[in-house]
Amino acid sequence: MEPDVTKNITVLPGDGIGPEVTAQAVKVLKAVAKAFTMDISLTEKPFGGISIDQYGEPLTDDTLQTCLQSDAVLLGAVGGPKWEDLPHHQKPEAGLLGIRKALGLFANIRPAKVYPAFVNNSTLKPEVLRGTDFVVLRELTGGIYFGQPRGYNAEKGWNTMVYEKYEVERIARKAFEIAGLRNKRVTSVDKANVLDVSQFWRDVVAEVHKEYPNIELNNLYVDNAAMQIVRDPKQFDVILTSNLFGDILSDIAGMITGSLGMLPSASLGEKHALYEPVHGSAPDIAGQGKANPIAAIGSVAMMFNYSFQMTKAAQIIEQAIEATLQAGYRTADIFQPGTKLVGTEEMGDLIVENFEAIFHEEGLGVFTL
């Protein structure tokens, strides 16, 4: 493959273990780009708590403008007890809401895939988990997190859950398009038996579904969906839901796979995309080399898939992760007796080595660093 136009990637390491896992993700990113002779340019910027410390705000105009000019953004993690007492609009998490809104990242994709080597790491029985492979598609820039009016006083607190028709239409189309590349099933999750906004959601999704007659559409109430994810996760292909419900369901889906440290995510808009591990900043283990970089590396795989349309590169990254797990290597969060404990950097190195081996085995070229 000849070098194409340079892809500009903004890297936001963030707080806590963010810089550690991001460093390993960048290591894999560079290795894959070199293997596929792809030109990339990486620009690192402060974001979250570290940006508050340096500039007094979690998301500076400079960082935002760099992200807006990028082909993709890779984020580590933000937050920590150091900034918990700040007003809500000044906390590191406010930077997340701000960047999602500014980049128009309306669709959050959270895979819930159980690696064969990992079926015994969950609290669920292996026979329940084996074969689980679905995604939660969460609407990310509307709903109760952004609705107005909102606020609280000494006597009450209030938020508004509101969706415009276009917001539901675009996330529904994204769900049907993704399902078309998978197993052609969409489960739309709402609370239409109680909430007017959910009945509106259900009606609009049904209307959009008419454009995709080859895709199966089912509806579930959110409480039932939470139960079904734990009871029989294999039944799902693409779960489509709102911002609040998606926030909750994606974490449930994450835990059935055994560890949030394993799960990547992608946030997509019409023009921009951001990739980040699902886990938080874990300040209690920051700087100790214990953090699991697999979620961050998996986020790079999603970047190659969704932003660069390099599905083969994404597949080989996934295969390299699986090969590393099959060989018994584990970071502390997923360690079990009989497996081999490794640190953050060693896990990254092992995945790069397995990527190299698989790339060479498939006859794609000679891999050199």
Percentage of the chain lying above the pLDDT 90 cut: 80
What is the average per-residue pLDDT within 128-132?
91
pLDDT mean over 343-348: 98
The mean per-residue pLDDT over the stretch 10-15 comes to 98
Whether 172 has a pLDDT exceeding 90, the answer reads yes
* Mean pLDDT lowest among 40-49, 93-102, 197-206, 284-293: 93-102
Does residue 367 register a pLDDT over 50? Answer: no
Is residue 369's pLDDT more than 70? Answer: no
Could you say which architecture CATH assigns to the domain 1-106+269-369? 3-Layer(aba) Sandwich (3.40)
pLDDT band at 319 (very low <50, low <70, confident <90, very high): very high
Highest mean pLDDT among 94-98, 167-171, 247-251: 167-171
pLDDT band at 3 (very low <50, low <70, confident <90, very high): very low
Supply the pLDDT for residue 119: 83
For the entire predicted model, the pTM comes to: 0.87
Q: Can you tell me the mean pLDDT for 93-98?
A: 90
Average pLDDT, the chain: 93
Amino acid at position 194, single letter: V
| 327 band by pLDDT with thresholds 50, 70 and 90 | very high
251 pLDDT band, cuts 50/70/90, is confident
Superfamily of domain 119-259: Isopropylmalate Dehydrogenase (3.40.718.10)
Mean pLDDT of 202-222: 98
In this prediction, residues 269-295 reach a mean pLDDT of: 95
Q: Where are the domains of the chain?
A: 1-106+269-369, 119-259
Radius of gyration of the chain (CA): 20
Is 302:273 a contact under the CB 8 Å cutoff?
Answer: no
pLDDT of residue 4: 56
Whether 368 shows a pLDDT value over 70: the answer reads no
Average pLDDT over residues 302-330: 94
Q: What was the pLDDT predicted at 255? A: 81
Asked if residue 267 has pLDDT above 80, the reply is yes
- Average pLDDT value for residue range 342-366: 90
Q: Do domains 1-106+269-369 and 119-259 have the same CATH topology?
A: yes
The per-residue pLDDT for range 51-80, each reduced to its tens digit, is 999 999 999 999 999 999 999 999 999 999
Average pLDDT over residues 79-84: 93
Lowest pLDDT segment from 69-83, 111-125, 236-250: 111-125
Task: Find the mean pLDDT for residues 92-116.
Answer: 91
**Where residue 364 falls among pLDDT bands split at 50, 70, 90?**
low
What number of other Cβ atoms are within 10 A of residue 259's Cβ? 20
Active centre residues (catalytic): 145, 191, 223, 247, 251
Per-residue confidence (pLDDT) for residue 365, from 0 to 100: 56
Residues 6 or more apart whose Cβ sits within 8 Å of residue 23: 13, 345, 348
